[in-house]
C-alpha cells in the first residue's frame, strides 16, 4: 500500500443527491427496496435469483460450497453451457429473428446478426475449432479487434468447453506471446487488421511477430479478413486458415453444446498487478454467467427488447461481461462499434445512439471527460431521446463529469449508474440499483444486494463514515475469480493475505482500492492503493512498464508513476537514469517510448520521460513513489526528511516543470 491515509482523504468529493424519475422506477426490472434485506436474510440462497435467469442442463443443489476457502465454488453440482444460454435458448423461445448483435464499422458499414444468424455462425465456427483439433479445456487465444467474429469465436469456444483468453488488440506482439505462453495456448484466432481514424492497421503482422515468441508449437491460427482490398497482402502460413474458408467448409454444421460443470473454466483474462507478470484471472461458467446476467438485469435494467450499447472493447473485462455474456444471456440487442469516438467527427457516438435508438448506454469516465472537453454542441446535434439509462465504469468519476453526463447525454431524465468492479469480480459490485436508490454524483453507491463490501482501516476494522480507508469484500459472490491460472499461491497472496485471518478461517477479499463510506452507506472509491495505475480506464502495472524501460539499451534504472491527466485520468510518468556513456536525449526518449510500446502497447506510452542522475530513495533504498507522483502533478511536496538524497528532488522538479 503506497498511499497514506492523508492522501486518500484529500481525494474526497462533495456530495449531492438525485432521484430516479417515477417513469423509470415504474418500468425498472428491480424496484422493490426490500431486495437488500431479502438478499441479506437469505444469503447465500439469494443467489438462486441470479441462477434462475439461466437455463441449466442439470439443476444445481448446492448454491455455495465453502469447504475449501478461499476457493469458493458456486452452483457446483449443476451443469450448464454458456453458448446455449446466450444463443440457442433465444432461438428456441421464438426470438430467432430478434437482433443479437448490431455492428458498426468505422466507415459506417453495418452488420446485423439475429439470434438465428448468431446460432448458425457460432455452430459453424465451433465445428471449425473442433476440426482443427481444439478439445474441451484447451485454451484458445483470441487476439482480435472489435469485429463480430470476436464474440462469435468466444461463444464457439464456450460451446465446445474450450476456455478463451482474449488479448486486447492494442496490446503488443510481446504481450500476446507472454499470454499465450502463460496459458499454454496452442490455438490463435486473429484478424488481418482494422480501421482507426480512417487508417487501416496491420494487425496480422503483430500477431505473427507474437507467434514467433511463443515457446511451444502452435497448432493452428485462424485469420479474419476484415480489410479486404485494404489488406497488407500477407500470405497465410501452412497452419493458418482464413476464417471465411473455414466457415464455408462448415456450412450447415451443428455442434451440440458441451455440458459443462458450473465450476469449469469459461475464460481466462490477463490483467496487471503489482509485479511485472500479468495475472491470469480465471472465471468459471455457472457463477460468472449468473452474475453477469443478474447485474445486467438489475443494474443495467436490460430487457430483451432493448438496444443496448457498451462502448468498451471486448478485449477488457467490461466487454466480456457487458457486451457479450450479460446482454446476450438476457436476449438483448447488443451494439458493437469498431472505431473511435471522434471519427469522422466528435459526435460519432451520439450519431450511433440516434441511428440505433439506443436505450441503455454504458461508457467510461475518460470518454465522458473527452466529451466535456469537446463541448455539448456535439451531443446536441443528435436526438438522444431514446436513452433510458446511463452507466459508467473503470475509474472514479468526478461530480462535474457525472453532472455533465447526466445533463447533456441523459437530459436529466436518465439515471446514471456509477459501477465499481474489477476484472477479478467478474461483474458489478458497488453501484446504485437505478430503480431503487437515489444517486450521488462522485459516489458509486452502496454495495449491491448480497455483496458484503466494507471500508476498513489497516487492521481490517470498519471505520466511521467520511474517513478514507480500504475497501474489502467480506463474503464471496458468484462472479468472483476462482484463482489465478495455475497459481493458487499468488491468488491467495494477492487478494486474501492482507485482511484474512486464516487461523480463524475468516476470508476477506482485498481489491486494493481506497474508499470511504457516507452515513447512508454509499461508497466513494478513491483509487488504487497498489502500484497499479489507471490510464483511460485501462489498468497498467507500473512494474510492467518499468521492466520494459529497463530493457532498453542504455537505461540503468527507471521508476514509473501515474500523474493526473485531464482526459486519461492518469498518465504514465517515467523517471529514468541512463547508464554511463548514454545521454538522456531525444533519441533515448524515443527508444524508451518504443520499448514500452513493443513490450505492452501504445496505451502504456509514457506521457513524459524525465532523465535524472538519481531517484529519490529512502535510507532503506526504497524509491519514494509518492514524491514522484507529487512532482508529476506539480503539487506541493510532502515530507522529504526520510530521503537519503533530498537534494535530487528540486533537480527533478525543475526538469518536469521545464518540459
- Please say whether the beta carbons of 126 and 160 come within 8 A: yes
Counting contacts by CB under 6 A, is residue 268 touching ligand WT7?
no
422 lines the binding site for ligand WT7 (CB under 6 A): yes
Q: Is 546 among the residues that bind ligand WT7 (CB under 6 A)?
A: no
Say whether the peptide bond before residue 342 is cis (omega within 30 degrees of 0). Answer: no
- 200 CB-side CA count, 13 A: 15
Contact flags string 141-160 toward ligand WT7, x per CB under 6 A: --------------------
- Which range binds ligand WT7 by CB under 6 A, 111-119, 129-137, 331-339, 413-421? 413-421
Phi, psi of 515 (to 5 degrees): -160, 170
SS3 562: strand
d(Cα 511, Cα 494) in Å, to the nearest integer? 9
The answer to whether residue 165 forms part of the interface with ligand WT7 (CB under 6 A) is no
170 binds ligand WT7 (CB under 6 A): no
CB–CB of 90/97 below 8 Å?
Answer: no
> Which CB, 56 or 421, lies closer to ligand WT7?
421
Residue owning grid cell 480465471: 282
* Rounded Cα gap, residues 332 and 330, in angstroms: 6
We find the least distance from the C-beta atom of residue 158 to ligand WT7, in angstroms, to be: 20
First to last CA, the chain: 30
Q: How many helices (H) and strands (E) does the chain have?
A: 23, 30
Residue pair 115/91 in contact (Cβ under 8 Å)? The answer is: yes
Stretch that binds ligand WT7, among 40-48, 258-266, 370-378, 394-402 (CB under 6 A): 394-402
d(CA 122, CA 179) in angstroms, rounded, equals 25
Cis peptide before 344 (omega within 30 of 0): yes
Contact status: 401 vs ligand WT7 (CB under 6 A)? no
Cis ω on the peptide bond leading into residue 640 (within 30° of 0)? no
C-alpha 580/C-alpha 265 separation (Å) is: 50
Minimum Å gap between C-beta 464 and ligand WT7 is 21
Report, in Å, the least distance between residue 187 CB and ligand WT7. 25
Binding segment (CB under 6 A) for ligand WT7, from list 10-18, 20-28, 289-297, 388-396:
388-396
Min dist. Cβ of residue 526 to ligand WT7 (A): 8
With contacts defined by CB under 6 A, name the span among 147-155, 236-244, 328-336, 525-533 that binds ligand WT7. 525-533
**CB of residue 477 vs ligand WT7: minimum separation in angstroms?**
14
- CA pair distance 164, 390, nearest whole angstrom: 29
Contact between 545 and ligand WT7 by CB under 6 A: the answer reads: no
Residue 114 is a binding residue for ligand WT7 (CB under 6 A): no
* Residue 487 near residue 184 (C-beta atoms within 8 A): no
Plot region of 139 (φ>0 → left; ψ -120 to 50 → alpha; else → beta): beta
- Nearest residue to 336 (alpha-carbon basis) of 321, 350, 324: 324
Q: Should residue 517 be labelled a site residue for ligand WT7 when binding is judged by CB under 6 A?
A: no
Among 525, 593, 652, 656, binds ligand WT7 (CB under 6 A): 525
Q: How far is the CB of 63 from ligand WT7 (least distance, A)?
A: 25
Question: Taking Cα atoms as reference points, which of 396, 366, 323, 315 lies closest to residue 142?
Answer: 315
Binding to ligand WT7 by CB under 6 A, coded x per residue (else -) over 308-347, reads: ---------xx-----------------------------
Binds ligand WT7 by CB under 6 A, chosen from 271, 334, 542, 578:
271
Between 139 and 317, whose beta carbon lies closer to ligand WT7? 317
Q: Which residue has the cell 468492479?
A: 421
DSSP-derived pairing of the beta strands 79-80 and 260-261: antiparallel
Q: Does 206 bind ligand WT7 (CB under 6 A)?
A: no
- Count of other CB atoms within 10 angstroms of residue 398: 18
Position among 513, 530, 544, 570 found at the interface with ligand WT7 (CB under 6 A): 513
The nearest distance, CB 416 to ligand WT7, in angstroms, is: 11
Minimum gap (Å) between residue 30 Cβ and ligand WT7:
19
Applying CB under 6 A, does 185 fall inside the site for ligand WT7? no
Q: Which of 528, 565, 568, 605 binds ligand WT7 (CB under 6 A)?
A: 528
Maximum CA pair distance of the chain?
Answer: 73
Nearer to ligand WT7, 456 or 652 (CB): 456
Task: Tell whether residue 250 is a contact of ligand WT7 (CB under 6 A).
Answer: no
Interaction of residue 396 with ligand WT7, rule CB under 6 A: yes
In the complex, least distance from residue 132 CB atom to ligand WT7, rounded to whole angstroms: 31
**Residue corresponding to grid cell 461481461:** 321
44 binds ligand WT7 (CB under 6 A): no
Q: Which is nearer to ligand WT7, 142 or 416 (CB)?
A: 416
The H-assigned helical ranges of 45-145 are 48-51, 82-83, 89-90, 115-132
Stretch that binds ligand WT7, among 95-103, 159-167, 390-398, 493-501 (CB under 6 A): 390-398
CB nearer to ligand WT7: give 167 or 555: 167
Cα–Cα distance measured from residue 332 to residue 169, given in angstroms and rounded to the nearest whole number: 26
Residue 546 CA to residue 536 CA, distance in Å, equals 19
Residue 494 touching ligand WT7 (CB under 6 A): no
Helix (H) or strand (E) holding 36: helix 35-41
Q: Decide if 410 contacts 374 (C-beta within 8 A).
A: no
| Binder of ligand WT7 out of 444, 545, 555, 603 (CB under 6 A) | 444
Q: Cα separation of 133 and 185, whole Å?
A: 13
Residue 74 touches ligand WT7, criterion: CB under 6 A: no
Stretch that binds ligand WT7, among 215-223, 288-296, 416-424, 449-457 (CB under 6 A): 416-424
CA 332 to chain centre: 21
125 binds ligand WT7 (CB under 6 A): no
28 within 8 A of 302, measured Cβ to Cβ: no
Q: How far is the CB of 16 from ligand WT7 (least distance, A)?
A: 17
C-alpha cell at 255: 455442434
Q: Which is nearer to ligand WT7, 264 or 418 (CB)?
A: 418
* Among the listed residues 145, 341, 394, 601, the single contact to ligand WT7 using CB under 6 A: 394
Ordered alpha helix ranges (H), 169-274: 173-183, 204-212, 243-249
> Which region among 180-188, 354-362, 433-441, 527-535 touches ligand WT7 (by CB under 6 A)?
527-535
Residues 342 and 367: their CA atoms lie apart, in Å, by 10
Q: Cα 90 to chain center, whole Å? A: 27
Size of the site for ligand WT7 (CB under 6 A): 21
| 539 near ligand WT7, judged by CB under 6 A | yes
Q: Which of 76, 292, 332, 419 binds ligand WT7 (CB under 6 A)?
A: 419
Binding positions for ligand WT7, rule: CB under 6 A: 271, 317-318, 393-396, 418-423, 444, 511, 513, 525, 527-528, 534, 539
Amino acid at each position: 500500500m503506497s498511499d497514506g491515509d492523508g492522501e486518500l482523504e484529500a481525494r474526497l468529493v462533495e456530495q449531492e443527491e438525485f432521484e430516479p424519475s417515477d417513469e423509470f422506477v415504474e418500468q425498472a426490472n428491480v424496484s422493490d427496496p426490500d431486495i437488500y434485506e431479502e438478499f441479506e436474510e437469505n444469503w447465500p440462497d439469494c443467489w438462486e435469483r441470479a441462477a434462475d435467469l439461466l437455463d441449466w442442463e442439470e439443476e444445481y443443489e448446492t448454491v455455495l460450497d465453502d469447504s475449501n476457502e478461499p476457493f469458493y465454488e458456486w452452483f457446483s453440482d449443476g451443469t450448464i453451457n454458456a453458448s446455449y444460454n446466450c444463443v440457442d435458448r433465444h432461438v428456441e423461445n421464438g426470438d430467432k429473428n430478434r437482433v443479437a448483435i448490431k455492428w458498426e464499422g468505422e466507415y459506417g458499414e453495418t452488420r446485423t446478426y439475429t439470434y438465428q444468424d448468431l446460432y448458425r455462425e457460432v455452430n459453424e465456427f465451433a465445428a471449425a475449432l473442433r476440426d482443427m483439433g481444439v478439445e474441451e479445456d484447451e485454451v484458445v487465444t483470441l487476439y482480435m479487434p472489435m469485429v463480430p467474429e470476436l464474440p462469435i469465436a468466444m461463444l464457439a469456444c464456450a460451446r465446445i468447453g474450450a476456455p478463451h483468453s482474449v488479448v486486447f488488440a492494442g496490446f503488443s506482439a510481446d504481450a500476446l506471446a507472454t499470454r499465450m505462453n502463460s496459458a499454454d495456448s496452442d490455438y490463435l484466432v486473429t484478424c488481418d487488421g482494422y480501421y482507426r481514424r480512417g487508417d487501416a492497421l496491420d494487425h496480422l503482422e503483430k500477431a505473427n511477430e507474437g507467434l514467433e515468441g511463443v515457446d511451444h508449437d502452435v497448432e493452428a491460427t485462424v485469420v479474419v479478413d476484415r480489410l479486404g482490398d485494404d489488406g497488407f497482402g500477407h500470405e497465410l502460413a501452412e497452419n493458418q486458415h482464413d476464417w471465411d474458408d473455414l466457415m464455408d467448409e462448415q456450412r450447415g454444421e451443428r455442434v451440440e453444446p458441451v455440458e459443462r460443470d458450473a465450476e469449469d473454466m469459461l475464460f481466462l483474462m490477463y490483467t496487471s498487478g503489482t509485479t511485472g507478470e500479468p495475472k491470469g484471472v480465471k472465471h468459471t461458467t455457472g457463477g460468472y454467467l449468473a452474475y453477469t446476467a443478474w447485474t445486467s438485469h438489475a443494474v443495467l435494467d436490460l430487457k430483451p427488447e432493448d438496444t443496448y450499447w457498451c462502448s468498451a472493447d471486448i478485449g477488457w473485462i467490461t466487454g466480456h461481461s457487458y457486451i457479450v455474456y450479460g446482454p446476450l444471456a438476457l436476449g438483448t440487442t447488443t451494439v458493437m462499434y469498431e472505431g473511435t469516438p471522434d471519427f469522422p467527427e466528435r459526435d460519432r457516438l451520439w450519431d450511433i445512439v440516434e441511428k440505433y435508438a439506443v436505450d441503455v448506454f454504458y461508457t467510461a469516465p475518460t470518454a465522458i471527460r473527452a466529451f466535456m472537453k469537446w463541448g455539448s454542441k456535439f451531443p446536441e446535434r443528435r436526438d438522444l431521446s431514446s436513452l433510458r439509462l446511463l452507466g459508467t465504469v473503470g475509474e472514479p468519476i468526478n461530480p462535474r463529469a457525472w453532472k455533465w453526463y447526466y445533463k447533456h447525454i441523459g437530459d436529466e431524465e436518465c439515471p446514471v449508474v456509477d459501477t465499481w468492479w474489477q476484472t477479478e469480480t467478474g461483474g458489478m459490485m458497488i453501484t446504485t440499483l437505478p430503480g431503487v436508490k437515489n444517486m450521488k454524483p462522485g459516489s458509486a453507491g452502496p454495495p449491491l444486494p448480497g455483496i458484503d463490501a466494507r471500508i476498513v482501516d489497516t487492521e481490517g476494522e470498519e471505520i466511521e463514515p467520511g474517513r478514507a480507508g480500504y475497501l474489502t469484500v467480506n463474503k464471496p459472490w458468484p462472479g468472483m475469480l476462482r484463482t489465478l491460472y495455475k497459481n493458487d499461491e499468488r491468488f491467495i497472496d494477492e487478494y486474501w493475505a492482507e485482511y484474512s485471518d486464516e487461523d480463524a478461517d475468516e476470508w476477506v477479499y482485498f481489491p486494493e482500492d481506497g474508499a470511504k463510506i457516507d452515513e447512508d452507506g454509499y461508497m466513494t472509491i478513491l483509487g488504487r492503493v497498489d502500484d497499479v495505475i489507471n490510464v483511460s480506464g485501462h489498468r497498467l502495472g507500473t512494474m510492467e512498464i518499468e521492466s520494459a524501460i529497463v530493457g532498453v539499451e542504455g537505461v540503468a534504472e527507471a521508476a514509473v508513476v501515474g500523474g493526473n491527466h485531464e482526459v486519461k485520468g492518469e498518465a504514465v510518468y517515467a523517471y529514468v537514469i541512463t547508464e554511463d556513456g548514454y545521454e538522456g536525449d531525444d533519441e533515448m526518449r524515443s527508444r524508451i517510448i518504443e520499448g514500452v510500446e513493443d513490450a505492452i502497447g501504445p496505451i502504456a506510452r509514457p506521457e513524459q520521460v524525465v532523465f535524472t542522475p538519481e531517484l529519490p530513495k529512502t535510507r532503506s533504498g526504497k524509491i519514494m513513489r509518492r514524491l514522484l507522483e507529487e512532482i508529476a502533478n506539480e503539487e506541493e511536496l510532502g515530507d522529504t526528511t526520510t530521503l537519503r538524497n533530498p537534494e535530487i528532488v528540486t533537480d527533478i522538479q525543475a526538469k518536469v516543470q521545464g518540459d
